[in-house]
Amino acid sequence: MRIHAVPGLPEVHPGDPLPEMIARAVADEGGAPGDVVVVAQKIVSKAEGRLVRIADVRPGPSAELLAEETGRDPRMCELILSESRRIVRRRNSTLICETRHGFICANAGIDASNVRYGHVVLLPVDPDRSARHLQSAISARVGGRVGVVITDTHGRAFRRGIINVAIGVAGFRAVVDHRGGSDREGRTLVATEQALADELAAAGGIMMDKGGGFPVVIVSGVVTDPAPGGADALVRPAEYDLFRGQ
């Protein structure tokens, strides 16, 4: 496996033709059919106009109450509530939310790093759709199927540190089901599902430090199953979740 960052992408602004920009940069860097292109969520959100000026937010009664209880800016509380299905856990000012996409993460994925002062960036409305647009453009440019993973950094309930996970997937199967196969001793596998898209997101994240300016990474040498893809395959249904509050 080889992982390398794609240099030369300019700062992304709302309305920029991101699929064409990334496809050109990947091709110039030697991207080829079979590769997986890992893309940081933030540039996708920026291109899609998901930037919000905090001063323009008008908090409602629920946000005002949440702000009183947590000590947070009521305008941020309004954005968090508007991007969430529900708040799963809360401690002091920490809010762990279930986003409208079904992801469990802090602050509904809203982030202020690497954006203009006084602004925050929201997750894409439909990250899988965004990934499909990127996948189509890159595949056409390099002359064959590539996979695309759109990533965001999430914390984990029982582990320290953040890690990149897949929030949008296109061009390959996000979860590889090994159930029914055998281990080296001949025992049948009954619970082994490999979160391949998350593994690729984490691998790409090694090259994507917030100060490095490399939001696109090419991963080569990993076999993927051609498929439409979709990050929803990675989300555990609530009825099978032993830890999330019901």
pLDDT value of residue 2: 95
Please check whether residue 169 is in contact with residue 128, taking contact to mean a CB–CB distance below 8 angstroms. Answer: yes
pLDDT at 231 over 80: yes
Please return the burial class of 88, using the count of CB atoms within 10 Å of its CB with bins 0-12, 13-18 and 19+: middle
Q: What is the mean pLDDT of residues 5-19?
A: 94
Backbone angles phi, psi at 138, to 5 degrees: -70, -45
Please return the burial class of 4, using the count of CB atoms within 10 Å of its CB with bins 0-12, 13-18 and 19+: middle
pLDDT value of residue 170: 98
pTM: 0.92
pLDDT at 177 over 80: no
b vs e for 204-228, b when ≥16 Cβ sit within 10 Å of the residue's Cβ?
bbebbeeeeebbbbbbeebebeeee
Please check whether residue 234 is in contact with residue 197, taking contact to mean a CB–CB distance below 8 angstroms. Answer: yes
pLDDT value of residue 189: 67
3-state secondary structure 160-172: EEEEEEEEEEECC
Candidate from 36-40, 153-157, 202-206 with smallest mean pLDDT:
153-157
Q: What share of the chain in percent tops pLDDT 90?
A: 78
Distance CA 85, CA 214 (A): 32
pLDDT value of residue 188: 67
Tokens of 97: 């939310």
pLDDT category of residue 54 using cuts at 50, 70 and 90 = very high
Q: Which residues contact 57 (CB under 8 A, 6 or more apart)?
A: 75, 76, 78, 79
pLDDT value of residue 50: 97
Closest CA to 200 of 149, 240, 162, 135: 149
Please check whether residue 244 is in contact with residue 40, taking contact to mean a CB–CB distance below 8 angstroms. Answer: no
Average pLDDT over the chain, rounded to whole? 92
pLDDT value of residue 178: 67
pLDDT value of residue 233: 93
pLDDT value of residue 52: 96
Q: Is 193 or 165 the better-scoring residue by pLDDT?
A: 165
pLDDT category of residue 116 using cuts at 50, 70 and 90 = confident
DSSP 121: E
pLDDT category of residue 210 using cuts at 50, 70 and 90 = low
pLDDT at 48 over 60: yes
How far, in whole angstroms, is CA 111 from its chain's centroid? 12
Distance CA 9, CA 72 (A): 35
pLDDT value of residue 185: 67
Our CA angle for 99, 244, 75, nearest 5°, is 35
Q: What is the mean pLDDT of residues 84-91?
A: 92
pLDDT value of residue 242: 78
